[in-house]
A and B are shown apart, each in its own frame.
Chain A
């Protein structure tokens, strides 16, 4: 469905992304992992049209863009959920309006929009009464659910997530991850996650795209990746995740024999 070919992003004399290739089919979940500064967020931004491409092409169904000018329009039928949900919501808008905003340009009647907003709230397992609150009056977890509701109400094909869970407590993280899983099956969505949480990637991804300083270090099926990464960098990253407890298995004893 989505095909990225030789994507490069240069800013002045710096190369932020170089020769990125990957595909995403319908219903698939791709996790983009890598350390800070590896280009994860830049890649998301490039796909969304927030950063112009220098080279390469992005193809979504029949919609193609390859020049910097084209890429700034962004892909149709994609939505994004950001890391900090409170910052992502307009503090002076009621929740209702935040969710409905993407529908104002559609041909829907006001009643239908109201209906869609309530449906979206039910979809993300929030009480309908929340629609009249302001972002400051809801919790962080609720705010992230609102951001998800706002994204799915536009009926996208692909949802992008930039560290969607890292601001949340562990138990709420898991509830929202389960919610996302259900929404994906219900609406036949594809997901692209930017995440540093390897435990999450292992659990929810179908494929892994490992970035290291702007280049693809590995593009691999999730099970194969976690069984044994091919690149040395990937191996180091997994080893670190075991030590830090992000992945279950090995204990630290063997690493810290005093």
Chain B
């Protein structure tokens, strides 16, 4: 539905990451269109986390990064400027796999939620007038109810279950109305019923607000359920990128067709 006439929102070209002579990512070219859901699928050791960290500009010391990143029309050479996180900082929301690292254990949830709202306003540079206040409050209530989160009750993070913490982080990500949300293994901390509801809601709200979603997962079956396009990563190389239909029906790479064949335990009753 979106042709190539629109420039991609985010474009990585020949991203290479090395660490101590080892190539972790080998010349990755990847683009993300505005409003689409892109899944990055790879098994353990494929380089998913390194790719995420490079995108966020938080690669650890000793990693050398090269290539270029174009975001919203602005280009940056990654080898020259390691602080490229600033290019995407205000437009990119990251939901970690482990929810406890995303929340401050010493602050009440209500306080953290207010911080998120305040941050959103600062980022957008909006003045606090009455109309905007009402609109913001409405949107934040909408997000909370969509994710089945209600009263914070002056609770601290540890007083909530992992599932609720994870949903709160998803709400944090959505309420800031970023351009891109990055989900790192979004289902691994959640039980299936909660995970299914949360993911359906997040992708729905993202679509409504034209937010792109980058979902990083080891689970091809999950990826194909939610993504518009799927990128397959293996041992640091991007094997192929295609629409979900292309990946499922005519995978170009033997590695991908093997993954496709083995999802659902090879069951194929439709």
The 7 closest A-B pairs by CB, nearest first: A245-B221, A240-B196, A35-B191, A245-B225, A243-B196, A169-B43, A240-B192
Q: Which of B44, B193, B207 has the most CB of A within 10 A?
A: B193
Q: B218 at the A/B interface (Cβ < 8 Å)?
A: yes
Interface of B is mostly: helix
Assembly CA distance A171 to B221 (angstroms): 13
Assembly CA distance A103 to B123 (angstroms): 66
Q: Are B259 and A35 in contact (CB-based, < 8 A)?
A: no
Assembly CA distance A134 to B232 (angstroms): 33
User: Assuming the A-B contacts A35-B193, A199-B264, are A169 and B225 also in contact, with contact meaning beta carbons closer than 8 angstroms in the complex?
Assistant: no
Which residues 235-270 of B have a CB within 8 angstroms of A? 258-259, 262-270
Residue-wise, chain A 86-101 has the 8 Å CB interface mask toward B (1 for contact) of 0000000000000000
User: Assuming the A-B contacts A169-B218, A171-B259, A255-B200, are A246 and B192 also in contact, with contact meaning beta carbons closer than 8 angstroms in the complex?
Assistant: yes
- Of B204, B207, B259, B268, the residue contacting A248 (CB under 8 A) is B268
B side interface size, CB within 8 A: 35
- Of B203, B221, B259, the residue contacting A246 (CB under 8 A) is B221
Assembly CA distance A236 to B222 (angstroms): 17
Contact surface of A with B, Cβ cutoff 8 Å: 35-36, 169-171, 174, 177, 196, 198-200, 202-204, 236-237, 239-241, 243-249, 251-252, 255-256, 258
> Taking CB as reference atom, which chain B residue is nearest A198?
B192
Q: Are B200 and A256 in contact (CB-based, < 8 A)?
A: yes
- Of B187, B195, B196, B267, the residue contacting A203 (CB under 8 A) is B267
Q: B185 at the A/B interface (Cβ < 8 Å)?
A: no
> Taking CB as reference atom, which chain B residue is nearest A203?
B265
Assembly CA distance A35 to B262 (angstroms): 24
Q: Are B269 and A248 in contact (CB-based, < 8 A)?
A: yes
Specify which chain A residues have a CB less than 8 angstroms from the CB of B187 in the assembled complex. Answer: 244
Specify which chain B residues have a CB less than 8 angstroms from the CB of A237 in the assembled complex. Answer: 192-193
B67 CB to nearest A CB, Å: 27
> Taking CB as reference atom, which chain A residue is nearest B187?
A244
Assembly CA distance A250 to B191 (angstroms): 20
> Taking CB as reference atom, which chain A residue is nearest B222?
A245
Q: Are A202 and B218 in contact (CB-based, < 8 A)?
A: no
User: Assuming the A-B contacts A170-B220, A171-B259, are A248 and B44 also in contact, with contact meaning beta carbons closer than 8 angstroms in the complex?
Assistant: no
Q: Are B270 and A244 in contact (CB-based, < 8 A)?
A: no
B64 CB to nearest A CB, Å: 28
A54 CB to nearest B CB, Å: 25
Assembly CA distance A244 to B226 (angstroms): 8
Q: B224 at the A/B interface (Cβ < 8 Å)?
A: yes
> Taking CB as reference atom, which chain B residue is nearest A236?
B193
A74 CB to nearest B CB, Å: 29
Q: B135 at the A/B interface (Cβ < 8 Å)?
A: no
A179 CB to nearest B CB, Å: 14
Q: Are B204 and A258 in contact (CB-based, < 8 A)?
A: yes
B236 CB to nearest A CB, Å: 16
Assembly CA distance A167 to B258 (angstroms): 19
Q: B208 at the A/B interface (Cβ < 8 Å)?
A: yes
Specify which chain B residues have a CB less than 8 angstroms from the CB of A203 in the assembled complex. Answer: 265-267
Specify which chain A residues have a CB less than 8 angstroms from the CB of B225 in the assembled complex. Answer: 243-245, 251-252
B9 CB to nearest A CB, Å: 19
Specify which chain A residues have a CB less than 8 angstroms from the CB of B270 in the assembled complex. Answer: 248-249
Specify which chain A residues have a CB less than 8 angstroms from the CB of B268 in the assembled complex. Answer: 248
Which residues 176-225 of B have a CB within 8 angstroms of A? 187, 191-193, 195-197, 199-200, 203-204, 207-208, 218-225
Q: Are A244 and B204 in contact (CB-based, < 8 A)?
A: no
User: Assuming the A-B contacts A244-B196, A246-B221, are A252 and B226 also in contact, with contact meaning beta carbons closer than 8 angstroms in the complex?
Assistant: yes
A238 CB to nearest B CB, Å: 9
Assembly CA distance A130 to B43 (angstroms): 24
Provide a sorted-by-A list of 10 A–B residue pairs whose CB atoms are within 8 angstroms.
A171-B259, A202-B265, A202-B267, A237-B192, A240-B196, A240-B197, A243-B199, A244-B225, A246-B221, A256-B207
Q: Are A241 and B192 in contact (CB-based, < 8 A)?
A: yes
